Chain A
Amino acid sequence: MNTSRRSYLALWCVLSLAAVYLLMGAGIPWLLKIHYERTALVPTPSTLKQWYMALTVAAVLVYVTSSPKRIEDFFSFFRSERGEGLFAALRFSILAAVPLVVGWAVYGLVNPGTAAPVELRIQHPSSVPEQYRTLTNPFRDPTPEMLAAFRAAKGLDLEGEALRAAFEKDCIDEGRIHYQATCRVCHGTKTDGNGPFARGYRLRPVDFTIKDTITTIVEGVAFWRVKEGGSKHNGGGGLPNESSPWDSAMPAWKNDFTDEQIWKIIMAEYDIAHVRPRETEKHGHQ
């Protein structure tokens, strides 16, 4: 009989599995609800729950089998000579729970349900049309001619950086006007995806203010999304087929705005969201 502290190893393993399961199923959803002031629990996606549970089981197996002593400690818990009373009840409960949990899992897998199928979302579809891959925003790096024309049109007496800054501000201001007039109803005044229409969509409009949306793409991709829209049924090229389960309601704006206006709207979006587009990096090989 092993009387060392390690002899509770099996119990620790079971508790670890239960703790991770409860954390995924209840703890995290509850914490997210409180922290983000939601009205309902925010569920952990079932795919992730399965993965994390599988990893926990693997972690337990790896630890227990990493030495003969641990294997011995693990199984010693289930030997009858270990103790009576509460200890025996605990042991019996765990042994009884194993087939019950397995049975429950099997039932969950085979029981026919009515849930919609799980769908995979591709954030950046692989087939960005080639004509958009190489585009850059002409207003980010204006030519001297563009600046001179701007100065003449506005009657400004500015040079160098000051002129350039005024040019950029003018572009953003124009973009803001278009944005607030057309994009705001879905994407929200602050570009946080909380416009008045936002709740009406199956897929909510993108929140531009968080770190992992428009900051991860170059502006050419943003231009494509604005110009062609998300659905093939609203006048634009839409998203490629691989994204069809996630067809968005984003309209194609190519018939309403010129390319120049779209570039300025994109500049305004980044500016309002206080984020920056992914920049093309320089490398010294050319």
Chain B
Amino acid sequence: MTLLVLLTAAIEPALAQDASAEGPEEYRSLPGAVGRWVDNRTAVWVAMQLHLMFGAFVLGVPIFALIVEVVGMTTGDARFDRLSKEFVKLLSAAFSTTAALGGLSAFLLVGLYPKFTQHWSSIFHKSFYVYGLSFFGEAFSLYLYYYSWDRLKGAARSKLSGALSSLLLWGSLLLLLFLLAVSLVAPQWVDSMKEHPGSWLFGLMAVFGVGQVVVWGACGSRNLGSLKMAHLGLGVLLNFFGIFLMVLANSWATHMMAPSGVSPLGELDPKLWDPQTKKWLGTLWQALHNPLWAPVNIHRLIANVTFGGFIVGAYAAIKFLTSKTDAERSHYDWMGYVGNFIGIASFIPLPFAGYYLGREVYGANPNMGLLMMGGGFSWAFIIQAVLIGIIFIGGNYYLWMGMQRIEGAERYAGFIKFINVVLFICFAIWLTPHNLPLSGEERALIGEQYHKFSSWFGVMVAKNAAVQFIILSTFFSFLLYRRGNKSDPLPFREQGVVGYVTLTLVGALCIFLLGRYLMGLGLEQVKTDDEIRFMKHLKTLLGVQIGAIVAAVGITFANRGKAAQALLFAVTIYSAVVHLSAVIGFEVMAKANPLLRVVSVTQVLLVISCLISVTFIDIFLFRKAKSVGGIRWGQMPVRSQYVLLLLCITIVLLMGLMGFIRSGLRENWHTIYILRDTSATAFTPTYTYMAKVVALIVFIFLALVSFVFWLAGLGEHGDDAEAAPGPGAGRMDAAPPSGGTSA
């Protein structure tokens, strides 16, 4: 995952130089015949996008591999450990390809765009060294993590190793407490540290410490003496380096889209930029901390997990289709299920992150926002809508087919038709463009700019409501799958103190999230009567949601958990889907558009609080509940495996498309308002050309990843698939038995 750096920087439909700058060479061409056939932009575009895709896989997989390993540790079930190791085996194989592509991308960029790289490195060169060194950390922690898998398990054999384990834990805890104390006592010191080179190391250690403590906390004190704890520590380290590298590289790319110190209207902050020469005067931190950095970080982090999940799912599907024994089929069916679960579960919050990024694009540069959603790139978002729809529907379809292998799940089959209808109606709305191809006759008969479908469904208010409903419906599918083979819930008191305390805390957390935002919505922030009216609506909706959560927790304690879930679903669907679109959403758009941001945040909070509350209610609803049947792992129709392959191809296409959009939005600028692209390929390519290049990238990526996975399997002895048995349930933690059926 080498230079994730350029990764983004150069998915580049447009790279080049500033008209004002002077220098020897602005651009070079690829040598010989290659240069006549492949232009600079396409070369960098393909290399960077491939690097980005491999990088996403290499960064996404360690996140859930670690989680699966922790699950194995806490449940004491060795099959999870083996599954996690299988994930990391794929990672290990893909790592060097990622690095090679990063090197190729960097060389292409430096070779073909000398003036741009000069400008770019003049601002960021200090971070390059940190990046390079951190890459060693990533490489070594990955290989340590993978190759020490079998060594670091069981009880510590010496006092020294036990002490080291404890030191890691208590050291991390002490570090966190120290940082907390410092930030409370002397916040100005923490602020000033941003510019201090040593503070980077300090901050990084803090992040690492948090990761350690979370993992150690999850594993419990009983495992403290185990060497496995040290192995988990390596997993944290691997994730830490991976995320750090991604975050650093993201800032280079987002700098090109929205550099710090440049206002939405292109005015330069004289403290950060020399207005004449456009030379950077600020610090490295100021350059890194540009307006789109945080939203891109969040969006990519989640997307990488989704990407990794679906790639793993496809790997399992291929293995399933080529399995020769029931045990193999059982194992890879389970692995495919876990891959799909990870992919869809992380895909659910992705629209929230995407919308946040979109809002920030509008905030950083409104014209770029218009170009993105209503201008030249708007049709790329229609393609995006199709791909996202395929992923949600494909994920649900796989779950519904999976319910066939769960004994008892037929009780919930009746819901599927309704979920299906909701998904497709929402998909239709999500897909409807604002700008629509029309014939001359249609234009004449419609008699106005937009047909009503486009006018109502083609705007973000409707699309946001649709996607919230899709998310809630997909979540509902998960709930049905989960309870597939469970009998009726036990009385809540059977859950003991843990149930009461946890549910109360979860309710309190949701109320805190909603309440904090509600308290911040002061009427003094708004100016017009309309804005005041809409603000009151929003406050009421947040208040009602808080009330619903309190009521739901109470109802659950009174042994009516399903009613509590129904209540939360009903309130959330009304508030987030109906009220914030049909009742006031469109009006806000016309009369108080600055409030759209508040509307969308409210919408997200309502849905998230519902997802969290309902999930925990569900956990305690069916915890310890009797199983009415097992799961027949391995007994899935062949078409379900092709759905996994479809999901994989779709997510790769989606990532290719989004790479084009993100980079293309800069149009004829390398760095917006700072460095102009004066190359021959400064224009935005046509959709046809984009489609060809993205298709080529997807084809190469899938071919490479297949080759790499094939390489990884060369040394296999066929014993991996023997991992399995155990009690089955419709959850991720329900591993299959060796015979294929659990009871």
Contact = CB atoms under 8 A, between A and B. Distances in A.
Given A45-B437, A280-B265, A285-B291, A212 B459 contact: yes
Given A45-B438, A63-B416, A221-B367, A52 B428 contact: yes
Interface in A26-54: 28, 32, 38, 40-48, 51-52
B427 interface: yes
A197 to B, nearest CB: 15
A38 B447 contact: yes
A117 B459 CA distance: 26
A117 B439 contact: yes
Interface stretch (A142-150, A200-208, A227-235): A200-208
B442 A207 contact: no
Interface stretch (B209-217, B583-591, B611-619): B583-591
A254 interface: no
Given A63-B420, A66-B416, A44 B451 contact: yes
A109 to B, nearest CB: 15
Nearest to B379: A120
A67 B397 CA distance: 10
A14 interface: no
A42 B451 contact: yes
A204 B436 contact: no
Interface residues of A, number: 72
A242 interface: yes
B589 A48 contact: no
A62 B371 contact: no
Interface stretch (B116-124, B159-167, B357-365, B491-499): B357-365
B448 A286 contact: no
A151 interface: no
A256 interface: no
Interface stretch (A78-86, A121-129, A152-160, A182-190): A121-129
A67 B443 CA distance: 44
B592 interface: yes
A175 interface: no
A244 interface: no
Contacts of B393: 58, 62
A210 B590 contact: yes
Interface string B446-458: 1111111111001
A133 B450 contact: no
B366 interface: yes
A262 to B, nearest CB: 18
Given A211-B586, A216-B370, A276-B591, A122 B447 contact: no
A286 B269 contact: yes
B438 A51 contact: no
A193 B375 contact: no
Interface stretch (B143-151, B256-264, B567-575, B647-655): B256-264
Contact of A48 (B443, B453, B593): B453
A263 to B, nearest CB: 15
Which secondary structure dominates where chain B touches chain A? helix
Interface centre among B289, B423, B445 (most CB of A within 10 A): B445
B404 interface: yes
A55 B427 contact: yes
B178 interface: no
Contacts of B374: 123-124, 216-217
B593 A212 contact: no
A267 to B, nearest CB: 15
Contact of A126 (B363, B371, B587, B594): B371
A122 B436 CA distance: 8
Contacts of B453: 28, 44-45, 48
B563 interface: no
Given A119-B437, A124-B375, A211-B459, A275 B590 contact: yes
Contacts of B451: 42, 44-45, 48
A274 interface: yes
Which 4 A-B pairs have CB atoms at the shortest separation, nearest pair first?
A: A126-B376, A116-B440, A281-B363, A211-B590
9 contacts: A45-B451, A51-B428, A67-B403, A67-B404, A121-B437, A134-B266, A280-B366, A285-B290, A285-B291
Interface of A: 28, 32, 38, 40-48, 51-52, 55-56, 58-59, 62-63, 65-69, 115-128, 133-136, 193, 202-204, 206-207, 210-213, 215-218, 220-221, 242, 274-283, 285-286
